[in-house]
């Protein structure tokens, strides 16, 4: 059957799929929108399964705070081109908003939230079908405190930090702390958070560095004593 441009546009707005994908789905479904949406969803599942072994090394990272509760989440994809797509960023933001509104503590809780005609995980799978790239939610973290702050480095949606404080903190100072965390990438907030393995590695490095410095000083002293100017 013939499919009108109005129907294609309507399905595209409902699903976010490409024009040709919408046309083909409507044609196959003989104009039935529910069936067409299911066809598009199945295509997304097929793409997700086919590309499950691919590496999703790009993506969008966003953070949000409600004052005493802050969240950071990453939606990963394969290419920077998709990561910067407005619809991809919007999906990440919508998922983040849902997670914050429901005060989710784990990534599994986020994936199970209702979104559209399915769950958040379904929405991610659907988007994978639209772009043809592997996508996955990753890196979900939360902090709680008397006050919290979020920082999105250069607003590029690639590096975000969240910080919680045990008392009210001046906004400018709080942001500086969040920026320092983004710049320094600390492994812990205090000594107790550092593993013994890392401590021993740092001690070994310090010992070897000290030995090398002592040898260098001894060589320089010997050359000076011998009247040799290297």
Interatomic CA distance for residues 121 and 103, integer angstroms: 17
Q: What is the pLDDT of residue 29?
A: 86
Q: What is the pLDDT of residue 49?
A: 60
Same domain, 30 and 130: no
CATH number (domain holding residue 142):
3.30.479.20
Assigned domain for 160 exists: yes
Count of domains observed in the chain? 3
Assigned domain for 142 exists: yes
**Angle (nearest 5°) at CA 142 between 138 and 146:** 165
Interatomic CA distance for residues 164 and 144, integer angstroms: 6
Q: Helix, strand, coil proportions of the chain in percent (round to 5)?
A: 55, 20, 25
Q: What is the pLDDT of residue 105?
A: 96
Angle, in degrees to the nearest 10, between helices 19-28 and 5-15:
110
Q: How many CA atoms lie within 13 A of 214 on its CB side?
A: 6
Q: What is the pLDDT of residue 120?
A: 95
Q: What is the pLDDT along the chain (230 residues), one digit of tens a residue?
A: 678 888 888 887 777 677 888 888 888 888 888 888 888 777 776 666 666 677 888 999 999 999 999 999 999 999 999 999 999 999 999 999 999 999 999 999 999 999 987 899 988 988 887 788 888 998 899 999 999 999 999 999 999 999 999 999 998 999 999 999 999 878 887 888 889 999 899 999 999 999 988 988 888 888 888 888 76
Same domain, 39 and 62: no
Assigned domain for 230 exists: no
Residues in the chain: 230
Q: What is the pLDDT of residue 77?
A: 92
Same domain, 148 and 220: no
Tokens of 105: 């503590």
- Residue 137 belongs to domain spanning: 58-186
**Which pTM value belongs to this model?**
0.71
Q: What is the pLDDT of residue 3?
A: 84
Q: Can you say how many angstroms the Cα of residue 108 is from the centroid of all Cα atoms in its chain? A: 15
Same domain, 92 and 26: no
Phi and psi at residue 151, to the nearest 5°: -140, 125
Q: What is the pLDDT of residue 169?
A: 92
CA-nearest of 164, 157, 170 to 141 is 164
What is the end-to-end Cα distance of the chain in Å, rounded?
89
Same domain, 103 and 68: yes
Q: What is the pLDDT of residue 189?
A: 77
Report the relative pairing of strands 114-115 and 118-119 from DSSP bridges: antiparallel
Helices (H), 16-119: 19-28, 33-50, 80-83, 86-101, 107-111
């Amino acid at each position: 059957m013939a499919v009108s441009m109005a129907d294609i546009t309507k399905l595209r707005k409902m699903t976010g799929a490409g024009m040709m994908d919408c046309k083909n789905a409507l044609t196959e479904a003989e104009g039935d929108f529910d069936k067409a949406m299911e066809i598009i969803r199945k295509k997304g599942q097929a793409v997700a399964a086919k590309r499950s072994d691919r590496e999703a090394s790009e993506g969008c990272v966003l953070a949000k705070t409600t004052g005493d509760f802050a969240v950071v989440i990453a939606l990963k994809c394969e290419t920077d081109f998709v990561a910067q797509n407005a619809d991809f960023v919007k999906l990440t933001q919508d998922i983040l908003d849902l997670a914050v509104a429901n005060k989710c503590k784990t990534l599994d809780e986020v994936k199970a939230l209702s979104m559209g005609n399915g769950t958040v995980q379904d929405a991610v799978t659907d988007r994978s079908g639209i772009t043809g790239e592997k996508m996955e939610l990753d890196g979900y973290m939360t902090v709680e405190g008397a006050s919290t702050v979020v920082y999105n480095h250069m607003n590029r949606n690639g590096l975000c930090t969240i910080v919680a404080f045990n008392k009210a903190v001046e906004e400018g100072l709080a942001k500086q702390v969040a920026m320092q965390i983004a710049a320094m990438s600390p492994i812990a907030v205090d000594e107790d958070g550092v593993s013994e393995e890392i401590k021993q590695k740092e001690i070994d490095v310090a010992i070897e560095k000290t030995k090398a410095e002592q040898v260098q000083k001894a060589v320089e002293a010997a050359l000076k004593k011998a009247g040799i100017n290297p």
